[in-house]
Structure 1
Amino acid sequence: MENDSDIEIFNENEAEKKSGLRKFIKITLWILGSLLSLAILIVLFFLIYININKGDIEKIDDLTLAPSSKIVSKENNAFYDFKQAMDNVYWPAGKGEIIIKMAEGSDWDNNLAVELVEKNKIALDFINSGIQKEDFQYPELQGDLRTSLKADTILPNLSKLRDITKIQIIQSRLLMKDGSENEAFNVAFNVLDFGNKIQSENRTTTISYLIGLSIKSMGITNIQRMIPVSHLSANDLKILQDRVDKHKENKKSMQEMVKMEYMTTNNSKEQMIDPYFRKGQGVQLAQSVELSGLLGNPLPINKGLLNFSFYYKPNKTQKLFVDHFEKLAGDSMKNCSEIAPLENVKMSKNTLIFTENAVGKMFSGIIAVSLDGLNKKRCQEDFSLYATQLMFASQAYKLEKGAYPETMNQLNPQYMPNVLTDFDAKQVIYNAQSGTISIAQ
């Protein structure tokens, strides 16, 4: 009987323990649920409060970033000549690979070179005609850009101009092989003039600037290949050396391109992004191509929060754009060693919910990263042009002295008035065997 009594007491104790545990679990869950509900209420009150009390700023004055107001007439616009050149270019099927190698100097087919030059005479004539025109400007970019430049404006494709450049280079190589060196160098320098024209200081787009940069890069490389095998006199080489000057320090074109990029970016923002948020339709925008294309998919912020204006302030976003593009425009007029790298502060996903204008800051950060390398490209072009001048000077020195100078200082002042020892804060290395320079890595 005692055993039965002990068992009953034990069972009662176990039942009490289980009952107490259940009560503890219920209380704990209730507390956790209350805390979670409280947290949700706090966040909701926070969102409602900031949505009501955290307004936008006044619209920013961005006149400092206004592109050129100059409108180029059709008669003076190289665009139409270059378009005619693209329409008349001859590029034989199946020959693309060898044409590229011929332009790069790694292969040669004399018969094909003659064929390309003869059958592209019309295209090459249009290029030469365009180079003589006052300016280059897309017809679509005339008038008041705030109204005429739409987010969906499609500009003509200029990629064929690079193909024509390859044919120009082949033409210069053909002339060089035939012994017509002065004419060969004239054609080679026309390539630089061609690239410069597309990089016009008149409403230059990022695409046209980069195409012009690419054309000039091909032209510079071609000239550098021609110099060591040239038989021109030292005096002729010095004349060509001076001819490089007008292509250096192309800062205004870069600045104009930055202003055009700001106009394009801000117009896209105002036409494609702002209307959704003004109507409280950020969620609909999140489901569209525009936002997912800009910020990535999946979005780094909860779509449901996008209806709150706290997370996107049109004018504060514009100010971020203005600050960034004004820095870029200012940097484009500086020497390369004076340009400070762009600071792009990344936001933590964990703090986005408490970050005012989070979407605007993400927009600005993405655009900043995409454009940060443009000034570096300009600096690389400047150095390539300087290196080309030094090659002309070294070759002239060799013709008159019998060998390349042992140091760059021997070129100063007769052959090269300004000798660089560093470029973009990096040491310039001279090779006395080839009369060339490079930048220390």
Structure 2
Amino acid sequence: MARILLAPNPTGTGHNMRMLSIAKRLIEKTPNIEVIVLLGSRQDVFTNLFENEGIKVIDLSPTGIIDYSKDSHLEKSMNWNTMISKYFVPTFFNGDKILKYLELIKDLSPDLLISDYNINASLAGIISGTHSVFVTERHNFTLVDVELDDLILGGFQVDKEEIGKAQQDLNSLFNWIISRTDLIITDKPLQEEFKSDIELMSNKKTHFVGSMYSDMKKEVELNFEKLLIDPTRPYIIGTMSSTTMLKENLQKNIDFYKEAFLELKPLFPELQLVIIGSSDIPRKENDIVEVPYIPNWRALLEHSKLLISHSGWITVTEVAYLDVPALFYLSSFMEYHELEAFKRLNLIGVPVFSGYNVKEFCRKVSDLLKQKREKFTEGYRILNPTQHGIDLASDMIEEEIKKVVEEKERK
């Protein structure tokens, strides 16, 4: 029996969801495998989801639920100390965490490690000599893929010399990891307009597969009444569940959605606004419904008139798979971790909007609400060319599993 160890990056719910989708398909297709997940965030939601699929959960934070979407991760002054010492090292390149992953790998003896943009786990896999797969929506570290002028435009005080050196060093580290990984799978199209894409294109181990989407079994039918949503009337969705670089942007985003909705309401009197991730319990006022994070939200998406979301890539790939009308919103260039994806979507031709101009935003939303649903699919075919991304990914991982098992048998 082959043992597979999943290590999703704990900084966002999307990493957990993508690992869950891949694991589900592997279990369906591959006999005699044991799957274990190292869960580091939103244990309250994902423990049951993984266990329902027959996956053993090891909670990396058993003393409390970790939710990275509630706090600030950066300071407005951007230099080596704030970006590398205080942010990158504790989060992505943490010696303590690398050693803990090494200890877990030694204890569990996995045949294959699947890291979902978990740099600490990937490094532990390489150091231990474990066969490794790297699943990613990022083609480098985020700081490498953002222009310094865009950071300044966003309002950061940037030490250009120190951040420039940091970008070079991070690029070297990322390429070192990739060169020592057995398989790289991405759900983000490789485009020559992005410098990190060019480097990945030259790596024959890199494969673009499109959306890695899979419905979860035992999915509970969505209870619209419990969520305080009237399914007989049109509604738009605004999401707040993405990791936020600066906490103040989270509340500004909520306030902006609400202000824009009140501007739209006279034009669309029956319209409701559903904000996901802004409240721990469902609540409703003036046709504005606030609900908690909903992991299995397909029914909610498919019945919506429009999704307004940050450009978190798991959300992007899911709406592309489901052909859901969407507008991807970037509140500020300070949310720099989404800037590359935002620019990529704009290049592809998917609707985007940035800033806090309520009137311009309402004009954009109004036009999209009147637009035919089929119009949105043009950009989605670039993002998701086959509708079989999860099968392509699982097939390649299955081949890696076979290689490891055959190698063990030869020994």
Measured against the shorter chain, the TM-score band is under 0.3
Higher helix share: 1
- Per residue, is there more strand in 1 or in 2? 2
Q: TM-score, normalised by structure 1?
A: 0.24
